[in-house]
Amino acid sequence: MRHVDFSPLYRSTVGFDRLFSMLDSVGQPEAVPSYPPYNIERTGEDSYRISMAVAGFSDSEISIEAHRNVLTIKGERGTEANGEGSEVLYRGIAARSFERRFQLADHVEVTGANLKNGLLHIDLKRTIPEELKPRKIAISADASKAKQIEANSVN
């Protein structure tokens, strides 16, 4: 395992702590959960959709929370009561609880979520504030209109 020491960079940068933490965590192997499966789609220039297969979960058993650039989706199933006198011979449909976390880029907001046919769709939109958008600067071509400041000469 390779480990990179970012401490020299901490001395000369301000506000990049989160970036260094993310870079440091990339190199560390961790158990990545594979349940439930999901897709991430780009639906427009600045819009995205996360689709997650949550068969058997109702909307009251799923919670979605966005906090500080982290989207957390939790599913908790209650105890399932089978019919009286019945027993499950084979359980192929997962009935376990889950928690998925997604790192969101700056200015990405959750615009909506819906559950249909066992798929949870979460719509995301990136909205860049006006002050961060590039703006066009006009160039004046007439040099005679430009103000010229000169110092008065004292003799």
Q: Shortest CA distance to 97 belongs to which of 120, 117, 77?
A: 77
| Domain range annotation of the chain | 36-80+89-129
113 neighbors 122 (Cβ within 8 angstroms): yes
- The Cα 119–Cα 50 span in angstroms is 10
- CATH number for 36-80+89-129 (one of 2.60.40.790, 2.60.110.10, 1.20.140.10, 3.40.50.970): it is 2.60.40.790
- What DSSP designation does 30 have? -
Model confidence pLDDT, tens digit, residues 66-91: 888 888 999 887 766 555 667 878 87
Q: Are 37 and 51 within 8 A, CB to CB?
A: no
The model carries a pTM of 0.62
Residue 49's pLDDT is 92
**pLDDT tens digit sequence for 106-121:** 888 899 999 998 899 9
Q: pLDDT under 70 in the chain at which residues?
A: 1-4, 6-18, 20, 22-33, 79-85, 142-155
pLDDT value at residue 143: 58
